[in-house]
Chains A and B, each alone.
Chain A
Amino acid sequence: MAMSPGRLDQILYPFFKKDVEEKKITVEQALNIIGCLWFKIADNTNLVPASAEKLFGGAGSVPAVTLGGIDKDRHNAVNDLTYLMLRVTELLLIKDPNVNARYHQGINSEMYRDRVAKVILNTKAVPAVYNDTVNIATLENQGVTPEHARDYAVVGCVELNSSGREYASTSSILFNLSAAMDLTIYNGKRPYMMGDEQIGPKTGEPKEFTTYEQFLDAFKKQLFFLLDRAIMLNEEFGKMHQKLLPTPLLSSFFLGPLDKGKDLIFGGALYNSSGATHVAFADVCDSLNAIEDVVYNNKIFTMEQLIDAVKKNFTGYENLHAYLKNKAPKYGMHNQIAEENSRWLIHILYEYYQGKTNYRGGKYRPAYWTMTNHAGLGKIGKALPSGRKDFELFSSGITPASQMAKDLTAAYLSVAKLDSKNIPGGVALNMKYTPLTDSSQKEKYLNNFTSMIDGYFENGGMQVQYNIYTYDELKTARKNPSAYPGLVVRVSGYSAYFKDLNDAMKDELITRTQYDLFSNKAVPYPGDNED
């Protein structure tokens, strides 16, 4: 999966320029050729077993194309091909290639920014937008040279790589953070899945913890216990990969293997990281927020009550559940406790991974994108202290939990507040907006749309991607799939046809918070009654 062609507007531009100058090609012909290329790229679909289809339903091979941004010398890299490729994306509206637009504030023009915004509004889903300023700094912090960092491209969903120089193996680990929360609550067990088996270390019964710090310590131990195993497993896979499947052909496309005389899989590339991504980030943050606020700060309920409520899926604890939903601090609300907990979790994960060296001699990089796994894993996960009930969907990527962040700017500022240097693997922030209905308001809508990107990026946000649909539009598409065969949605790092997604993923897209771009508040979810 995810063999990504990289910065095609940069790679092909010299050829395009030469052919146009020599009058071998017209712009119209170039547009046609790019269209054919897009179809060719989209043509490649991997065969996957049925169980994988359940988790990754609707995904193609997710080849990522990256456009715009700056070049190695910090000059504006947006060229005529950038615009042509955006235009083709807008005209074809097919799910692949996964088109990503880099945007460097101050160097890329506002005209380019506005054009990207219009393509998003017209396609309702693509491209995703990347903040060059912080992404380049994040890669440099990983030891990538400034010239190489400026030449980054997206691999797969949202992962940042120095194009052609980095073998990043970005989805080496896909980790469900709620498992560590479960192990902490149940003292190393996960009763609803594994019965009485002691899985993790005994970190103590939480009801006996007298301070929040004790809870955090226990959580950290369980988390690192699980991560140790995930890394051990990945290292074994890597070694088997080295034995069974060296990659001479792929190695020939990268810088490094020829000089080093080493295959990619043995560390031949210039940069050799491994990516680990995380599911249920917002749900686990909100669980930490709830525990800190309810049990330790305000002492409204005891840990015993909270854990009993979670076990019973809040039956008999309606009042506690109401408090958790309405009063407890939430990631995405621009709240201090929530900000501290989210930053803490990002930080400890970063420190942990950076301390590990992989079988190719590179470092592990934490990331927060989830494809469709947050929906699939949500369907088998029991209640959490956040107030999330049994089998409800997890939040997607780095996005605040659905229906929890009521103010759009607060949501953006909360995500931007996370230290991007601690997230070298990349993030997927999923935002859903009400489409424009009154065409006389077009200018204002576009201004609000781009101002949100600019404000979020200036405060340190790494990436954002959109769905421009209402709750009802997606509900209608779920009901009559045959009437909407080509409806493209942004999942959590890639695009898919809505009809191809599994039911859990469809539900997740429908219930994602929809924001109104005039009031910039969440539109209340109207409920599930369709008839």
Chain B
Amino acid sequence: MIFPLVFDIGRASGEDGPGLRTVVFLKGCPLRCLWCQNPESQNSDKEMLFTRDLCIKCGNCDTECYSLARQTVGQYYPPVKLAEMILRDEVFYKKSGGGVTFSGGEPLLYIEYIRDTILCFHSIHVHTAIETCGIFDFNSLEENLLSKIDLFLFDIKTIDPILHEKWTGKTNYKIIENFKKLVETGKEILPRIPLIPGYTASEENLIQIAHFLKKMGIKKFELLPYNPSGVEKWEKIGKSPPANLSKKPLNQVEFSRWRDFFLISLESNKYNE
């Protein structure tokens, strides 16, 4: 079994699935999305983050950095330990209808690790979700983990394989195939469409996605407004962000416009077919 590095544990997040949820971020991703919000998650090895503004120039770089300017990202946790950390907020899951979400990177690179972690708390019911980019070994998922997952948050960036390769480094054939297979299992799936200005947030792209979801019989979906928090992080890991990546978050007005457009696209498909 491959032990992944955990790069963050979000406590009681209200953003990745229903209710309040602990979100476990695992390091390593097959994609290289240009707009990646957590570029430090792409590599499956440890990563060094340097935040110049926090440095107090003490010169003691040979010991632990106290000012948080230099931080190592990625820590190993045995499944038992990870389960213990997840359960710290159990009372809040119960009250809000929440649970745990495994995110990344791509969590399904570590199917067995997630299975073992969930097994540590299988005696109490905790709602489980996976946030995936769609590239994973479907057979292994079906064999090891599928029955233990209540919800899949499935990223759909574009239907066009050529654009997909241009934006993420990989075509989406596997992603579409896995999406279809997952739909057939009858599991609850929530497609999530990131709205990235200059990339995915285009009328043509959203029409295609709407058409695809309609064909798949999917009714629920989530649009994710672009958040530029990744831009700074590229610099912190010593790389430069893509030149045309917006430094402004998608504002409420733009977001509502895209949401309305997407809803209309879903509706209009009805008449096309």
Q: Quick check: which of A61-69, A86-94, A389-397, A408-416 contacts chain B, the rest being far away?
A: A408-416
Do A520 and B11 touch (CB < 8 A)? Answer: yes
Known pairs A319-B58, A444-B14; A452 contacts B19 (CB<8 A): no
Do B88 and A413 touch (CB < 8 A)? Answer: yes
Q: Does A140 contact B (CB under 8 A)?
A: no
Q: Does A75 contact B (CB under 8 A)?
A: no
Do B19 and A519 touch (CB < 8 A)? Answer: no
The 8 Å CB contact of B15, one of A327, A408, A447, A519, is A519
Do B66 and A451 touch (CB < 8 A)? Answer: no
Chain B, residue nearest A517 (CB): B14
Q: Does A318 contact B (CB under 8 A)?
A: yes
Q: Quick check: which of A238-246, A453-461, A491-499, A504-512 contacts chain B, the rest being far away?
A: A453-461
**Residue-wise interface mask of A (512-531) relative to B, using a CB-CB cutoff of 8 A (1 in contact, 0 not):** 00000111110000000000
Q: Does B257 contact A (CB under 8 A)?
A: no
Known pairs A319-B58, A322-B58, A448-B14; A409 contacts B66 (CB<8 A): no
Q: Quick check: which of B89-97, B113-121, B128-136 contacts chain A, the rest being far away?
A: B89-97
The 8 Å CB contact of B10, one of A320, A437, A519, is A519
Chain B, residue nearest A412 (CB): B92
CA distance A408 to B20 in the complex (A): 11
Q: Does B252 contact A (CB under 8 A)?
A: yes
CB distance from B53 to the nearest CB of A (A): 11
Do A454 and B95 touch (CB < 8 A)? Answer: yes
Do A318 and B56 touch (CB < 8 A)? Answer: yes
Do A518 and B11 touch (CB < 8 A)? Answer: no
Contacts of A454 in B (CB 8 A): 91, 95
Q: Does A326 contact B (CB under 8 A)?
A: yes
CB distance from A364 to the nearest CB of B (A): 33
Q: Does B159 contact A (CB under 8 A)?
A: no
If over half of A's interface residues share one DSSP class (helix, strand or loop), that class is named, otherwise mixed; here it is helix
Chain A, residue nearest B11 (CB): A407
Q: Does A334 contact B (CB under 8 A)?
A: yes
Do B58 and A518 touch (CB < 8 A)? Answer: no
Known pairs A517-B14, A518-B15; A455 contacts B68 (CB<8 A): no
Contacts of B94 in A (CB 8 A): 455
Q: Does B100 contact A (CB under 8 A)?
A: no
Q: Does A438 contact B (CB under 8 A)?
A: yes
Interface residues of B in 59-99 (CB under 8 A from A): 60, 64, 66-68, 88-89, 91-92, 94-98
Q: Does A192 contact B (CB under 8 A)?
A: no
Do A410 and B19 touch (CB < 8 A)? Answer: no
Do B20 and A448 touch (CB < 8 A)? Answer: yes
Contacts of B67 in A (CB 8 A): 319, 322, 326
Do B91 and A334 touch (CB < 8 A)? Answer: no
**Residue-wise interface mask of B (1-44) relative to A, using a CB-CB cutoff of 8 A (1 in contact, 0 not):** 00000000011111100011000000000000000000000000
The 8 Å CB contact of B66, one of A326, A407, A450, is A326
Q: Does A323 contact B (CB under 8 A)?
A: yes
Contacts of B60 in A (CB 8 A): 319
Known pairs A319-B66, A458-B91; A409 contacts B58 (CB<8 A): no
Do A319 and B56 touch (CB < 8 A)? Answer: yes
CA distance A334 to B58 in the complex (A): 29
Contacts of A451 in B (CB 8 A): 19-20, 92, 95-96, 98
Do B56 and A322 touch (CB < 8 A)? Answer: yes
Chain B, residue nearest A437 (CB): B252
The 8 Å CB contact of B58, one of A318, A413, A448, A459, is A318
CB distance from A338 to the nearest CB of B (A): 14
CA distance A521 to B14 in the complex (A): 10
The 8 Å CB contact of B96, one of A320, A438, A448, A458, is A448
CA distance A521 to B8 in the complex (A): 13
CB distance from A520 to the nearest CB of B (A): 4
**Residue-wise interface mask of B (162-179) relative to A, using a CB-CB cutoff of 8 A (1 in contact, 0 not):** 000000000000000000
Contacts of A318 in B (CB 8 A): 56, 58
CA distance A251 to B68 in the complex (A): 59
Do A438 and B19 touch (CB < 8 A)? Answer: no
Contacts of B13 in A (CB 8 A): 518-520
Contacts of B88 in A (CB 8 A): 334, 409-410, 413
Chain A, residue nearest B67 (CB): A322
CB distance from B92 to the nearest CB of A (A): 4
Do A455 and B66 touch (CB < 8 A)? Answer: no
Do B95 and A323 touch (CB < 8 A)? Answer: no
Do B91 and A455 touch (CB < 8 A)? Answer: yes
CA distance A519 to B9 in the complex (A): 12
CB distance from A312 to the nearest CB of B (A): 16
Chain B, residue nearest A519 (CB): B13
Interface residues of A in 305-341 (CB under 8 A from B): 318-320, 322-323, 326-327, 334
Do B56 and A458 touch (CB < 8 A)? Answer: no
CA distance A421 to B20 in the complex (A): 29
Do A327 and B95 touch (CB < 8 A)? Answer: no
The 8 Å CB contact of B14, one of A319, A410, A459, A518, is A518
Most chain A CB within a 10 A radius of its CB, from B13, B68, B98 = B13
CB distance from A500 to the nearest CB of B (A): 34
CA distance A408 to B14 in the complex (A): 12
Contacts of B58 in A (CB 8 A): 318-319, 322
CA distance A407 to B92 in the complex (A): 13
CB distance from B261 to the nearest CB of A (A): 15
Chain A, residue nearest B59 (CB): A319
Do B11 and A458 touch (CB < 8 A)? Answer: no
Chain A, residue nearest B15 (CB): A518
Do B12 and A408 touch (CB < 8 A)? Answer: yes
Contacts of B15 in A (CB 8 A): 518-519
CA distance A455 to B10 in the complex (A): 17
Contacts of A320 in B (CB 8 A): 66
Do B11 and A410 touch (CB < 8 A)? Answer: yes
Do B56 and A520 touch (CB < 8 A)? Answer: no
CA distance A454 to B88 in the complex (A): 15
Do B12 and A520 touch (CB < 8 A)? Answer: yes
CB distance from A323 to the nearest CB of B (A): 4
A-B contact pairs, 14 of them (CB 8 A): A318-B56, A322-B58, A326-B66, A409-B20, A409-B88, A450-B95, A451-B92, A454-B91, A455-B95, A458-B91, A459-B91, A518-B15, A520-B14, A520-B20
The 7 closest A-B pairs by CB, nearest first: A451-B96, A454-B95, A323-B66, A322-B66, A322-B67, A451-B95, A455-B92
15 additional A-B pairs beyond A327-B64, A451-B20, A451-B98, beta carbons within 8 Å, are: A318-B58, A319-B66, A319-B67, A322-B67, A326-B68, A408-B12, A409-B20, A409-B88, A413-B89, A448-B96, A454-B91, A458-B95, A520-B11, A520-B12, A521-B10
| Residues of B in contact with A (beta carbons under 8 Å apart) | 10-15, 19-20, 56, 58, 60, 64, 66-68, 88-89, 91-92, 94-98, 252
